Amino acid sequence: MKSSTKVMEAAWICAAEVVVQREEEERVEMLDKIRKQNVKDKYELGNAATRLDQELKEQQLQWHKKTEVRRLRQMPTDEQEVALQAAESSNNNNRKTGSIYAMENQRLAMLMKDSKLRQRVKNALIRKKIRPRIVQDMLALERRYTEVQT
């Protein structure tokens, strides 16, 4: 019993160290980014108007991304039920991870109204082995969707 608690304590300590290390790396990256931006601003030849336009475009892009995430979270209940049924039907871990990709793919297909992709996702749920191609299709759909939005 004591050895299992020691193992748990060691695991928690390792996890805490990883978190601290990740935070330190993020802090260093952020400081580096701020330094580069300060140097760039100091020696930049462009005028303030172009810089403001660029910042406005970046903010608009971030706003579009956030609204897209909110829209994906607010799926109709029919799609949520389909996704929940797909998740409940899978038994082992491999099928569960595959079904997560399939659910995301199904959600994107509903957004794009792509019937061929929806059919392929349904067939993939039936198969035993779900291929990584689903992930590629999902990324392709995201790219197409962002191209349509801009």
- Give pLDDT, residue 146: 87
Q: Are residues 37 and 85 in the same domain?
A: no
Q: Are residues 25 and 83 in the same domain?
A: no
Count of domains forming the chain: 2
- Whether the predicted pLDDT of 133 surpasses 50: yes
Domain of 36? 1-45
Residue 96 lies in a domain: yes
Phi, psi at 35, each rounded to 5°: -60, -45
- Give pLDDT, residue 142: 87
User: How buried is residue 143: exposed, middle or buried, by Cβ count under 10 Å (0-12/13-18/19+)?
Assistant: exposed
d(CA 8, CA 4): 6
Residue 66 lies in a domain: no
Residue 27 lies in a domain: yes
Q: Are residues 36 and 96 in the same domain?
A: no
pTM confidence score: 0.27
Read off the pLDDT of residues 43-102 as tens digits, 9 standing for 90 and up. 666 666 677 788 888 889 988 888 877 777 776 556 656 655 655 554 445 555 566 777
**Widest Cα–Cα separation across the chain:** 68
